[in-house]
Amino acid sequence: MCCAATVCAAFPKPIHIVAVGASNTQGWYVGKQGAYPAKLEALLRDKGVNATVANAGVPFDTTAGMLKRIDSDVPKGTDIVILQPGGNDRRFLVTKEQRAANIAAMERRLRERAIKVILYDEEIPAQYYAFDLIHLTDAGHAFIAAQLLPRVLEIDRRATAASPRAR
């Protein structure tokens, strides 16, 4: 189902996005429909972008676990991956150097497959955390989705401009 005829003409197939992360990507406390991947998909569709955003969040995961599953969680045909490494590495005493190496390895593997990567590793304001100070509230997920929206739209705009069918 397309939201705008002009977008459907430019993109006969949807843009496939996969969000990779841990419990905050998965939607701890808010469920998958309340998590930022679902909220981002809704925002994109509201903008007329024919997009699907798959949720590949796994509670308690670290960047090492994400690296192990990156190929299986990101199927062929994926256009964009949102990588949200979260804070479990710190909780499970993974060094900053190892965390950085794991993130770089994931980015490299995805780019080798011609998949665009959005690394979302920003500080999230304290008011968006639940009582446990680890997981996000509904407003926190909305905040992340709103921050990701322009990044995805920019990649989409560039892809449209580079596509022979856009000419």
pLDDT of the residue at 13: 72
Per residue in 64-77, pLDDT (tens digit) is 999 999 999 999 99
pLDDT digits (tens, 9 = 90+) for 106-152: 999 999 999 999 999 999 999 999 999 999 999 999 999 999 999 99
As assigned by CATH, the class of the 18-93+114-150 domain is alpha beta
**Partners of residue 16 on adjacent β-strands:** 52
- Range in 6-10, 77-81, 117-121, 162-166 with the lowest mean pLDDT: 6-10
Q: What percentage of the chain reaches a pLDDT higher than 70?
A: 90
Domain residue extents for the chain: 18-93+114-150
| Whole-structure pTM value | 0.88
Contact present, 48 and 71 (Cβ < 8 Å):
no
